[in-house]
Amino acid sequence: MPTTEYLVDTNILIYHTKGSQATADFLNDLIIKQSFNISILTKIEFLGWNKHTAEGFKKCKYLVGVANVYYVDESIADKAIELRRKTNIKLADAVIAATALIHNLKLATTNIGDFNGIATLGLFNPLA
Asked whether residue 15 is domain-assigned, the answer is yes
Read off the pLDDT of each residue in 6-21 and give the average, rounded to a whole number: 95
Asked whether residue 120 is domain-assigned, the answer is no
Asked whether residue 95 is domain-assigned, the answer is yes
Main-chain phi, psi angles of 22, to 5 degrees: -60, -45
Residue with the bigger pLDDT between 34 and 14: it is 14
Asked whether residue 25 is domain-assigned, the answer is yes
What's the structural domain count of the chain? Answer: 1
Cα separation, 34 vs 18, in Å, equals: 23
Is residue 117 within 8 Å of residue 86, measured between CB atoms?
yes
Asked whether residue 121 is domain-assigned, the answer is no
Average pLDDT of the chain to the nearest whole number? 94
The CATH code of the domain that includes 89 is 3.40.50.1010
The model's pLDDT over 83-122, given as tens digits with 9 standing for 90+, comes to 999 999 999 999 999 999 999 999 999 999 999 889 999 9
Asked whether residue 124 is domain-assigned, the answer is no
Read off the pLDDT of each residue in 62-89 and give the average, rounded to a whole number: 96
Percent residues over pLDDT 90 in the chain:
90
Tell me what pLDDT residue 4 has. Answer: 78
Tell me what pLDDT residue 35 has. Answer: 85
Is residue 93 within 8 Å of residue 114, measured between CB atoms?
yes
Rg (CA), the chain: 14
pLDDT surpasses 50 at 31: yes
Cα separation, 21 vs 91, in Å, equals: 30
Range of the domain at 47: 6-112
Q: 93-102 contacts: CB < 8 A, separation 24 or more?
A: 95/39, 95/41, 96/7, 96/9, 96/10, 96/39, 96/41, 96/42, 97/121, 99/7, 99/39, 99/41, 99/70, 99/72, 100/7, 102/75, 102/76
